[in-house]
Structure 1
């Protein structure tokens, strides 16, 4: 039994992080490549949910207005979620007919997005955050796949061009891994994740976002629910800043895990491979098994201890586990960043796994996060 537990706890995370991408790599050539025709100018509504974003809102609106895409009609909606600073005043200072500012009471991001969409007039909805910067040409390439009527949504590529000296080194590497995985998923028509900083969906596919779910995931899955594909656009780049502090990385992963599991529950119909095929397998692999993987670390360690006398492999695997934890702890304690980069990468992994574990425990206890504060993730 100990041997079964050991190998189960070892192979499931290995599958989620490496086996699953290899499966997509093998399956990719069997899927047709889609080359859509040129897309006519679209009627667009860009939604920016904001809470106390006076530091970023002016730059964000200028960034959107100067995109080189010529829309048939452009509408930008700034939906303030109970901002108590100058966010609303600064947005209204633009005095541009294309910009609609909604000064809403504090009610949570999901409700604010639903309220904003009720004012949208565009055929395609684009969602973004106030504190991120789009590179030139991003809007045009994000929209291009919509020339294919089978495409229901698109997602962009969030990058961290300049990583800090702390845990953001690991976060930047993780972004590269996610971009690689999304390219594989998009090739096989099963893009299951998105960043709220840059995603788009056809207006008729949008569904009101329930409370407590992760908004970006719920929006992204509205297309597969309707039988449409989601395309990952690697060239649509949005610039973010990494988070070096362990506490903020921990809190972010904790909140994302709770919301992610609630979101999977809300979209549980998509987890049926008999109905949704490879997309369901992708969702289970990318979003479910990966989130459950941290729970396997303790059984893996205990089973390894039980098997120490069975074979030299188990002694080596125990040494590898303990060494990994020691390197991660040393990386966390290295506040002056004097140790080599692998120590900080290991620290990022440990903080991420710890946040996911606590988030899973909170989910099982019925905990949820109704409010949002963008400062918590900066």
Structure 2
């Protein structure tokens, strides 16, 4: 039982700390080279799926219109997933005003992946850029990304997400996302990221294919890129902004949906877990994704074995500290429901919420319950 406790602790610590540190050390010693060209400006098609985005869509369209890129080489296709608010009306105003903006309406609501599949045959550019309806790009984001496609080994380039508060304070960024971005930067330097940011990524047209209706397009398209022998990298200077979700509890249903879909996506591309064929990618997937998805069960293993070993004084201290942190996290979740918050308790609250989401997502995967609607 003592072995189970320490092995489980080691797994959790490796995922949360050592993996990131090891990547940082390797990246500081040796980085993959990229043949970048500032003069490389391929044709680009932006694709955005939208459902009832009247609150954000006009700002999105204006952001596209302001991009610093040759207008004859860039266009935008908005596909509305049967929106029943003013989304279609707002987009149509811009379609009438700009020749390089198109609106496609999916008559029956089928979800994001199906909406993107609908417009896939209409794309004839060299590069496809996928971006969310609520994502706002810096003017130079396109140039910063496409310059990497001058290198034939690069198949996908993802941008850097920064969260903003409703008052447009662009300094607001979640602690989790800072940690996640740090990992992705170093994965990119060492070899390749294993998941793109869904709010902004660019991909070669030949890799942009039809995907499963329940697919998380950012993860699935990255896996397709890697399976085809290309690298996927992050461009930290290609900045995209999204509004910050204030409540941790608001993230739970979204995370359940995302993680369950990622399980199914990885199952479809399970060949990438073959260490002998994809040694680096398989290691990245296990260290970055699989262990994270299984953290709820690793946590249960740690706590369960500690309870069994409570005759050891250290285990009693460990259980007491764990119980206190768990209590702080639950209190924060309750406070958030009433519009209040204690900053110190946000981390344990987030850990509880994400472990809960991961466990539910795993159950959905085990029982093959796939959700296709957003």
1:303 to partner: Cα distance: 0.7
Q: Are residues 302 and 217 of structure 1, via their aligned partners in 2, closer, same or farther at CA, if it must alter by over 3 Å?
A: same
Aligned residue number for residue 135 of structure 1: 138
1:213 to 188, 212, 215: 215
1:290 to partner: Cα distance: 0.9
CA contact (8 A) 1:124 1:203 kept: yes
Secondary structure of the equivalent of 2:122?
Answer: coil
1:31 to partner: Cα distance: 3.6
The alignment status of 1:6 with 2:5, answered yes or no, reads: yes
CA contact (8 A) 1:79 1:116 kept: yes
In 2: Cα distance, 1:7 partner to 1:361 partner = 26
1:339 to partner: Cα distance: 6.0
1:131 to partner: Cα distance: 1.0
CA contact (8 A) 1:75 1:122 kept: no
Aligned residue number for residue 65 of structure 1: 65
Secondary structure of the equivalent of 1:207?
Answer: coil
In 2: Cα distance, 1:36 partner to 1:214 partner = 29
Q: How far does the alpha carbon of each residue in 1:176-231 deviate from its partner, in whole angstroms, 9 at most, with x for none? A: 11110111100011201112110010001122111222111111222211111111
1:246 to partner: Cα distance: 4.2
In 2: Cα distance, 1:34 partner to 1:207 partner = 25
1:67 to partner: Cα distance: 0.7
CA contact (8 A) 1:41 1:72 kept: no
2:121 to 118, 121, 144: 118
| Mapping of residues 1-378 of structure 1, within 5 Å | 2-28=1-27, 29-70=29-70, 73-94=73-94, 95=96, 96-105=98-107, 106-162=109-165, 172-310=174-312, 312-335=313-336, 340-372=342-374
For this pair of structures, how many residues does the alignment match? 365
Of 268-277 and 64-73, deviating more is: 64-73
In 2: Cα distance, 1:118 partner to 1:337 partner = 46
RMSD (Å) for aligned C-alpha atoms: 1.9
In 2: Cα distance, 1:200 partner to 1:220 partner = 10
In 1: Cα distance, 2:257 partner to 2:71 partner = 36
1:337 to partner: Cα distance: 6.9
Q: Any stretches of 5+ residues in structure 1 without a counterpart? A: 373-378
CA contact (8 A) 1:10 1:300 kept: yes
Q: How far does the alpha carbon of each residue in 1:239-269 deviate from its partner, in whole angstroms, 9 at most, with x for none? A: 1122233442111111111111111111111
CA contact (8 A) 2:41 2:146 kept: no
In 2: Cα distance, 1:135 partner to 1:243 partner = 21
CA contact (8 A) 1:49 1:80 kept: yes
